[in-house]
Amino acid sequence: MATRPSLVFLFVLLCFFLSSSSTVHSQSDEFVYNGFKHLGSNNLTLNGVSQIQNHGFIQLTNDTLRLLGHAFHSDAILFKNSTTGKVFSFSTAFAFAIVPEYEKLGGHGMAFVISPNKELKGALPSQYLGLLSPAVNGNFSNHLFAVEFDTVQDFEFNDISDNHVGIDLNSVVSNASVNASYYTDGNSTKQDLSLKSGKVIQAWIDYDSSKNELNVTLSPFSSKPSTSILSFHVDLSPYLEDYMYVGFSASTGLLSGSHYVFGWSFKMNGEAQSLDLSSLPSLPARRKNHLALISGVSISAAVLIVAGILLALFIIKKIKNMDVIEDWELDVGPHRFSYKELKKATKGFRDKELLGFGGFGRVYKGTLPNSNTQVAVKRINHESKQGLQEFVSEVASIGRLRHRNLVQLLGWCRRREDLMLVYDFMPNGSLDKYIFDEPKVVLTWEQRFKIIKGVASGLLYLHEGWEQTVIHRDIKAGNVLLDLELNGRLGDFGLAKLYEHGSNPSTTRVVGTLGYLAPELTKTGKPTTSSDVFAFGALLLEVVCGRRPIEPKALPEKLILVDWVWDRWKQGAILEVVDPRLGGEYNGAEVILVLKLGLMCSNNKPSKRPTMRQVLRYLEGEGTLPEVVAPPDEEEGKKSGDHGSEFEDFVHSYPPSSYFEKVSTWSSGDLAERDDLDAASSASPFSGRGESGWS
């Protein structure tokens, strides 16, 4: 009898132990999926276009353009120690493959994600990888961690290549990145690894909480190399919440591709199990043509069939390459190229000659066969005859512009619904890649000042020098192209508006690039020469400072470039804003002149801005600038330092890194978030240098 309490005590202790063990097990959150064939919603949550195929792998996307897919582990995982607030160590391994529609071009990538929710509501496809949108990209409140495997080089997000791995914290601008590769031969030899090869790759992501170290490792084999390709020192505690969801996200854009996950293991506070690739589901082999299908056909019948096919292909090719000219095209200028001529110039529009791609199509480098002139050929697709006529009408107007500081439209071509524009080829690409981030070549002050004067001269010609007033509406560093001698030429007239001198421009949709839009446009919707001057002011400041109009990751006082420059101006320390990459080698008087002009052009009141004729006179030293410069945000009754309405007007949900083709349309005062170049696409076929640029 004396032993009964002891037995009861042992029984209670055992129950407690089992209960505790169960709790620990549920919070250890370790799982291994060698395929996903028999998993249901209790294990995985799928959204977008993702689905589990019959062969047992997850297909996150397919070959459709601009879509996304997500696959998350259904249960939330405890990531933080409730006492210390520190994130636990974690580890994951997964086998994936990316099969782009065109292997050489890629088609955007995929990412391993840790998110506070499984829906990722509002996320966009294309370069946002289904993770975020322009409105929230970079926000600390996202609490999002991702490791991206990207197959498109997006200059807007500072991608290092079209085959890279990046670590993303609350933003799709990677905090650290490296070209995809792996170690072999005793971990001493580094081998390149193509993410878009269509072959299965295993990835390991390991976070050591004690060292605050994150490591990413890749291999095309089952065994894990002992050397990682990317190591990043970071404390994830401020970024992750207590409970988070783990999973995958992928997207397609103007180029498409399929993203697959074949197996997945995950473990908190330990190392995830590596996957045996041979035991995982595999992609079904593509069907091949078999000669056995025609083995029973007689030789004479086979010859007739082959001859008929060859004849049909010959006729189709002749019809396809035929140039059909309709009556309304006869009086259109400038020069009309034949399709055959442009096809020969671009070597059959082959991928090797591809310079970039945008909302309307692709841009190819070409050499005209008769003159050996290098050109850029933009190949555009239209769907309606009305669109064709509008296209040709714009060619007739814009094609007659002639100025040494404008990118010249040399001609055009139409073959049914296939449209092509032929431009001067600019071998040095756009200005933005020489002044932002870490350029390969740093422009000297003399080169920058010459470019500024050149663009001012070209813009004055548009406003006053041609038979009609031309409002560009999208002036920025990304639309300033540099020729062989690094002369600045204003290009991309896709958003331009023409009207007679002295007339009043009509109200229109507010389009352009966020960060360069004059505040009055959101109220009136009327583009004017003064709104162009406002954008030119932003260009002046970014060329001197080497910074974009808005730097989301900068300190609050440096967030808006014009405010920062104005503050330094008031403090008598204006030269502190000069691009440090110049190494102090610049003409101080010219720098101060350009900065002062930039502040004057950036004034919120159109009446306070100079005209382009005045701007060019000042730049040429033919006029004296006013001694006093009005505050850029001058408004009646506005307190100094109050950025409320100013920020709303000037930024208006401005996304990070606007310098490269972030075109959006505002309607009724609300920002309609759209994918890269979509708004420009709806405006005109001239718009967009493409997601990869022209050069």
Q: Alpha-carbon dihedral of residues 532, 535, 540, 543, nearest 10 degrees? A: -130
* Contact in structure between 445 and 578 (CB atoms under 8 Å): no
Contacts (Cβ under 8 Å, ≥6 apart) of 93: 202, 203, 204, 205, 224, 264, 265, 272, 273, 274, 275
332: alpha, beta or left? (left if phi > 0; alpha if psi -120 to 50)? beta
Kindly name the residue from 29, 474, 532, 649 that is annotated as catalytic.
Answer: 474
What is the distance between the alpha carbons of residues 480 and 483, in angstroms, rounded to a whole number? 10
What is residue 22's three-state secondary structure? helix
Eight-state DSSP code of residue 465: I
Eight-state DSSP code of residue 576: G
What are the DSSP calls for 632-672, one per residue? TT--TTPPTT--HHHHHHHTSSPPS-TTTT-EEEEETTEEE
What is the distance between the alpha carbons of residues 666 and 257, in angstroms, rounded to a whole number? 31
The residue with tokens 């406002």 is 534
What is the distance between the alpha carbons of residues 112 and 59, in angstroms, rounded to a whole number? 14
Q: How many helices (H) and strands (E) does the chain have?
A: 13, 31
What are the DSSP calls for 608-634, one per residue? GSPPHHHHHHHHTTSS---SS---TT-
Which pair of structure tokens corresponds to residue 361?
């199509």
What is residue 237's three-state secondary structure? coil
Which pair of structure tokens corresponds to residue 678?
């979509």
> Helix axis angle, 529-545 relative to 561-570, nearest 10°?
70
Let me know if 162 is a catalytic residue: no
Which pair of structure tokens corresponds to residue 568?
């330094």
What is the distance between the alpha carbons of residues 612 and 460, in angstroms, rounded to a whole number? 5
Pairing mode, if any, of strands 201-208 and 213-219?
antiparallel
Catalytic residue numbers?
Answer: 474
